[in-house]
Structure 1
Amino acid sequence: MNLKRVFGVILTVLGIVGLIYAAIVFINSGGASKEIKSLIVYGILGAVFFFTGIGLIRDTRDDARPPIR
């Protein structure tokens, strides 16, 4: 298994968790300044981690050699 792909999966999962947490903060927010700031921070970090992880998974090639006959 390729190390870049594993790291991509980890980043993708962290991004999903960050986006879900941002959605929870959005649902429970009362409009306070602190809640809006945390919503923006978690949303941006979650999106960056998610798209970076997806990019690593898509762009990493498998360098498997063909079987020897």
Structure 2
Amino acid sequence: MNVKRTFGTVLTILGTIGLIYAGYELINKSTAYTSLAVVGVIALIFFFSGIGLVKNTKDEA
């Protein structure tokens, strides 16, 4: 397995966890909206960059 693909998978998983956390806290009406916005944006960046790495990396045997 390629290092870029592994890093992309890790980024995607971290982004997913961050998005779930931000959504959970928003549903529970947390008062720290600024922190949740920052966590949500960073999670989106991680998620989409991880997906991009996994999708654009060629598999070389």
TM-score (norm 1): 0.82
In the TM superposition, structure 1's runs of 4+ consecutive aligned residues that sit over 6 Å from their partners are none
Out of 43, 50, 54, the position equivalent to 2:51 is 54
Higher relative contact order (CA 8 A, sep 6+): 2
Residue 7 (structure 1) aligns with: 7
Residue 22 (structure 2) aligns with: 22
Out of 34, 37, 40, the position equivalent to 2:34 is 37
**Identity, % of aligned pairs?**
51
**1:10-53 residue CA offsets vs partner (Å, 9 max, x unmatched):** 000000000000001101125x3xx1112101110110000000
Q: Is the 8 A contact 1:29 1:36 kept in 2?
A: no
Contiguous gaps of at least 5 residues in structure 1:
65-69
TM-score (norm 2): 0.92
